[in-house]
Amino acid sequence: MTIDRATLAASIDQTLLKPTVGFKAAAVWIEQSAQRGFASLCVSPFLVPVTAQILGGTGTKVCSVCGFPLGYAMTETKAEEAAHLVGLGCQEVDMVMNVAAFLEDEDAFVQDDIGAVVASVREASEGSALVKVILETGYLDAVQIVRACHVAVAAGADFVKTSTGFGPRGASTDDVRAMREAVGPKIGVKAAGGIRDLPAALAMLQAGASRIGSSAGIEILDAFDARSGA
């Protein structure tokens, strides 16, 4: 698999979800990331307004998280949060699946939970915003990963995503391959959690990821430039 720099950048959700980063540090980070060609900047919910302001006109989307990082908030709370994020300028919402319910085989509940967020985002954005469902694959076995993908797709998800980065482990190429096979070519697969360098990012893309979530997007692009002599 060969990939050029622009395509690599456009596959990355450059991510800032550290609980200790406030407005001033985030503004510097957003400015540094805004012109890199990333698919999105994925930021903490309270940072969505400033991110939307700085990214205006750049082509890079604003992404944030819902029900994060544990996924066990009430469905109504998740749906309201997601709609509010869209109202503040969010174009992509990464929601956490209710892992606890899923592990007890409450698939109908989980599907309804995801579906409520999807419907809320669709309504708030008039159908333009995307929903990515975080499965937190570190808690799941191979069979459960496939099942979770099917539940998310049935609920209307645009993407399935591996991890929050706060769970028991991050993404693996095995997870990504299984997810891609489960959802087919029309649904996005986002690999996130522990992807900090160029080889890891390229391995995830090779395995079938269409997006990479990483806090090291700039470093990944710099490494690509160094490798290609740019």
Active-site hit among 61, 78, 132, 190: 190
Query: Cα 22 from chain centroid?
Result: 21
190 is catalytic: yes
Of the candidates 115, 201, 126, the one whose C-alpha atom is nearest the C-alpha of residue 158 is 115
Distances from the Cα of 222 to the Cα of 50, 133, 214, angstroms = 25, 29, 14
CB 27 within 8 A of CB 50: yes
Which of the residues 94, 113, 158, 175 is marked catalytic?
94
User: Contact 187/146 with Cβ under 8 angstroms?
Assistant: no
Catalytic (active site) residue 24: no
> Per the structure block, which two tokens stand in for 47?
């940072």
Measured from the Cβ of residue 145, the count of other Cβ atoms closer than 10 Å reads: 20
Closest to 183 in 3D by CA, of 218, 221, 209: 209
Which of 61, 78, 132, 161 is flagged as catalytic?
161
Annotated catalytic residue 78? no
Residue found under tokens 């893309």: 205
The residues annotated as belonging to the active site are 94, 161, 190
